[in-house]
Amino acid sequence: MQKKKEVVFAKDGKCTDAEFTEGHSQMNAILHREYSLWWDAFVEEETEDYEKDAPSAEDRFALHCGKILASKTGVSVEKAKWVVNAWLIEKHA
């Protein structure tokens, strides 16, 4: 199997492999930190919330972290929530 070539220079609007790796690493650090601090609280909130359409622990966590990622990246909270949900699926797999 051939190793992927590392991108040293990228076209405008694109990131290099190093930039992508660093961004991914920073995102993981944020999500791991928030998970260790808040996950149990969101699970507890879910069990205490008896409203019919109350958000799940996953939804609560995704919104919380989505706001953090959106403020750091300029991506919308809705798009950031999709990333957080995917991260949670991978973490809980």
CA proximity to 45, closest of 37, 53, 56: 56
Q: Which residue has the tokens 């919308």?
A: 76
What are the residue ranges in the chain where pLDDT is below 70? 1-10
- So what's the pLDDT on residue 4? 64
Q: What are the tens digits of pLDDT across the range 22-36?
A: 999 999 999 999 999
Q: Where are the domains of the chain?
A: 56-93
Q: How far apart are CA 25 and CA 4, in angstroms?
A: 19
> Using an 8 Å Cβ cutoff, are 46 and 57 in contact?
yes
Number of neighbours of residue 48 by Cβ within 10 angstroms:
8
Q: What is the pTM of this model?
A: 0.82
Give the separation between CA 32 and CA 15, rounded to whole angstroms. Answer: 24
